[in-house]
A and B are shown apart, each in its own frame.
Chain A
Amino acid sequence: SQTIHQWPATLVQPVGSPLSLECTVEGTSNPNLYWYRQAAGRGLQLLFYSIGIDQISSEVPQNLSASRPQDRQFILSSKKLLLSDSGFYLCAWSNTWDEKLFFGSGTQLSVL
C-alpha cells in the first residue's frame, strides 16, 4: 500500500531563517506531488505541483521554492522566512490514473 511521510510535524523558526520541509511517498512510482498551505481559518492554497523529476510548477509567487530530487521526494524550501509564511503546510500525492489525492499529516510552521 502507498504511504506518504511528511516531517517535521511542528516547526518554530525566526524571521529570516531558512526552511526545509521534506515529503516522501512510498509504494508507488511516478506520483504527482503537491505542496499546499492552509492558513488559519482559510482554505487550501496550492503552492507547487510536480509531474516528474525537475518538472515543478509554481502556482503562487512567493519566497518559497520546491525541488524534487528523486521520484518520490518533494522538498519545500525558503532562504529567508517571512512572518506571513506561518501556516499549516501539507504535502500530497496523486496517481496518474484517477488523480485521487492523498495528504500527509502536515507541518505547522510558526515564524516568529
Chain B
Amino acid sequence: KQEVTQIPAALSVPEGENLVLNCSFTDSAIYNLQWFRQDPGKGLTSLLLIQSSQREQTSGRLNASLDKSSGRSTLYIAASQPGDSATYLCAVRLVDSNYQLIWGAGTKLIIKP
C-alpha cells in the first residue's frame, strides 16, 4: 500500500532563506507526483507536476525533484518571502489507478519577515 510522508509537519524560517520541503513515498511505481500549496480556507494551487520519467521541474523560485528509486521528492524554495507562507502538500498518482492520488499530510511553512 502506497504511503506518502511529509517531514517536517511545520517549518518556520526567516525571510530570504532557501529551504527544502521533503516528500517520501513507499512504492516507486508512480505515474506522477504533484506539489500544491494551500492557504488557510482556500483551495489548492498546483505548483509543479513531475512525471515518473522526469527528474525535476522548475517554476520561478521553485524547483521540484524526483528520485523514484529512493522514493523521495523535494521542493526547493529559493529566497523565501512572507507570501510563501502556506501549507505545502505533495500527492502521488499511482500507476495502476489514474484517478486516485495518495496525499501527504502537508508541511505548514511560515516565513518570518
Real binding pair: yes
Cα A95 to Cα B14 with chains together (Å): 37
Q: How far is the CB of B104 from chain A (nearest CB, A)?
A: 8
Contact A59 B32 (CB under 8 A): no
B23 within 8 A of A: no
Q: How far is the CB of B90 from chain A (nearest CB, A)?
A: 11
Q: How far is the CB of B47 from chain A (nearest CB, A)?
A: 11
**Residue ID in chain B nearest A42 by CB atoms:** B105
Contact A59 B100 (CB under 8 A): yes
Contact B41 A108 (CB under 8 A): yes
Q: How far is the CB of A65 from chain B (nearest CB, A)?
A: 18
Q: How far is the CB of A10 from chain B (nearest CB, A)?
A: 9
Interface string of A97-111 (1 = CB under 8 A from B): 011111111101000
A32 within 8 A of B: yes
Q: How far is the CB of B86 from chain A (nearest CB, A)?
A: 14
**Chain A interface residues toward B at CB < 8 A:** 6, 32, 34, 43-44, 46, 49, 51, 57, 59, 88, 90, 92, 98-106, 108
Q: Which 9 A-B pairs have the closest CB atoms?
A: A103-B44, A103-B43, A106-B43, A105-B43, A49-B99, A100-B49, A43-B103, A44-B103, A104-B43
Given contact pairs A99-B31, A99-B93, A99-B98, a sample of 10 additional A-B residue pairs in the complex whose CB atoms are under 8 Å apart: A6-B43, A43-B105, A44-B89, A44-B101, A46-B100, A49-B99, A88-B41, A102-B46, A103-B45, A104-B43
Q: What are 5 A-B residue pairs whose CB atoms fall within 8 Å in the complex?
A: A90-B44, A101-B34, A103-B43, A104-B43, A106-B42
